[in-house]
Amino acid sequence: DAGVIQSPRHEVTEMGQEVTLRCKPISGHNSLFWYRQTMMRGLELLIYFNNNVPIDDSGMPEDRFSAKMPNASFSTLKIQPSEPRDSAVYFCASGDGTKSYNEQFFGPGTRLTVL
Amino acid sequence: AQSVTQLGSHVSVSEGALVLLRCNYSSSVPPYLFWYVQYPNQGLQLLLKYTSAATLVKGINGFEAEFKKSETSFHLTKPSAHMSDAAEYFCAVSDLDAYSSASKIIFGSGTRLSIRP
């Protein structure tokens, strides 16, 4: 069991550049979640998918952020153009969404620094 | 809507002392509750969860939590703190989307636990 896989683990980019974060959920899980964590705002849910369909994207900060899940084994979070305030750790998590008592499994995170 | 409130953003205890991290929930339906732990530079991992089978739930690393409906609480405890327990702890509650029946987890703001030698 490889767990949730995120890439890259670290990303340093300059303001205005496009950033793409990638996530491979645990096989068999039908729900996928993208979070952002900062010291100031804590852990924020950005968007989540169920059966590859976006359910709630109300946490996406603005139009510069977009997320896709083209199939059950892959998701991307894109920021275009990136800004220094986007610097944070971005987590992907997956779970079995068929039962409300099922927990989420988190990936190791991608630490993004926008200069 | 479901929510959780964690009392105290930072708790410090001596090694060997009792650990008590407080969490209160608000839910319109019988809740499913979780405690997660985050060690430095890592993702969150599940400590324990309450699914209504038993009010006292035992988790990993000697932690346990008791569900008290009358107090709407789900406090996390450990009898004797160890240096390796230093981490951030998140209380959370499950929330069901009415339209899709998909579930998500709503996290509290976290409590940072420090252990004094």
Which residue from B90, B95, B97 is spatially nearest to B74, judged by alpha carbons? B90
Q: Which two tokens stand for residue A61?
A: 């900060």
pLDDT tens string B104-113: 899 999 999 9
For residues A84-110, average pLDDT = 92
Mean pLDDT across A96-114? 90
Query: In this complex, do A56 and B96 lie within 8 Å of one another by their Cβ atoms?
Result: no
pLDDT for position A81: 96
* Nearest-5° Cα angle at B68, B65 to B71: 125
B102 vs A33: CB contact, 8 Å cut-off?
no
pLDDT by residue (tens digit) across A72-86?
Answer: 999 999 999 999 999
Confidence of residue A97 (pLDDT cuts 50, 70, 90): confident
Split at pLDDT 50, 70, 90, the class of A102 is: confident
Whether A54 and chain B come into contact, CB under 8 Å, resolves to: no
Report chain B's terminal Cα–Cα distance, integer Å: 41
Q: Which of A97, A99, A108 sits opposite B43 (nearest CB)?
A: A108
Predicted pLDDT of residue B64: 97
Going by pLDDT thresholds of 50, 70 and 90, the confidence category of residue B92 is: very high
Count interface pairs A-B at CB distance under 8 A: 57
- Selection from A114, A92, A90, A88 nearest residue A105 by Cα: A92
B49 touches chain A (CB under 8 A): yes
CB–CB contact A31 B107 (8 Å):
no
The CA-based dihedral angle spanning residues A95, B10, B1, A106, taken in that order and rounded to the nearest 10 degrees: -10
Q: How far is A108 from chain B (nearest CA, A)?
A: 5
Would you say residue A109 has pLDDT above 80?
yes
B46, B102, B106: residue with CB nearest A103 = B46
Is 80 exceeded by the pLDDT of residue A90? Answer: yes
- Beta carbons of B100 and A109 less than 8 Å apart: no
Average pLDDT over residues B70-91: 97
Query: Is the preceding omega at residue B30 within 30 degrees of 0, hence cis?
Result: no
Confidence (pLDDT) at A100: 75
B44 and A31 in contact by Cβ < 8 A? no
Average pLDDT rounded to a whole number, residues A46-63: 93
Judge whether B107 and B43 are in contact, CB under 8 Å: no
